[in-house]
Amino acid sequence: MTQPVKIGVLLSGSGTNLQAIIDGIAQEGLPVSIVKVVSSRPDAYGIERAKAANIPVLVMNRERYADPLAADELIVNELREAGAEYVVMAGYMRKVTPVMLKAFPDRVLNLHPALLPSFKGAHAIQDAFDAGVKVTGVTVHFANEDYDKGPIVAQEPVRVEENMTVEQLEGRIHAVEHELYPRVLRWIAEGRVTVGSDRKVSISL
């Protein structure tokens, strides 16, 4: 039987991907235990989702991030104390520092709403829409010191249909995120994800 992998979830907003993981645990036996949620903002709705699921929350604010290294040290200490094995960024709008990356080497996951390396940055959905691409998508990757880089674990394409609005595209991308992230976490819990010496990820069957 697969042992649940203990994760800390970092978020900044509504927490829909956190909810997808919570629901996956409750409804589909996703072998994951969320031991801590960290919110970069005190007004993020994701805090309410965590509290409703009885998950401890560390609430950060702008003042605490004035020194990013000290902020990440605080977060790392809280995550370690909670027993986290992996860090899962779910709409976290802060760049993690080497403090976090060294504490959890190749164990900091990020979710990006585009097919990296295309459309990096905070406005990926709008940028892809404005570029007129016919296919965009979702990427799950391990974070490193370069923003929106790092070894890619999984990608899922999303077609941009004719006459689709950017809001409709955003909804379709979020729906894919809510399926892909739990799937990757299941792979990790099952020990199927490996980062090779070439910094590429392999997924065993």
Q: Where are the beta strands (DSSP E) in 21-104?
A: 32-39, 57-59, 86-89
Instruction: Check if 123 is active-site.
Output: no
Report the 10 Å Cβ neighbour count for 97: 18
Question: By C-alpha distance, which of 39, 173, 181 is closest to 119?
Answer: 173
- Tokens 């689709």 correspond to 164
Structure tokens at 165: 């609005």
Q: Which class for 106: exposed (0-12), middle (13-18), buried (19 or more C-beta within 10 A)?
A: middle
Question: Which candidate in 112, 123, 141, 178 is catalytic?
Answer: 112
Q: Letter for the amino acid at 131? A: A
Q: Letter for the amino acid at 135? A: V
Q: Which residues pair with 141 in a beta bridge?
A: 110, 152
Which residues carry out catalysis? 112
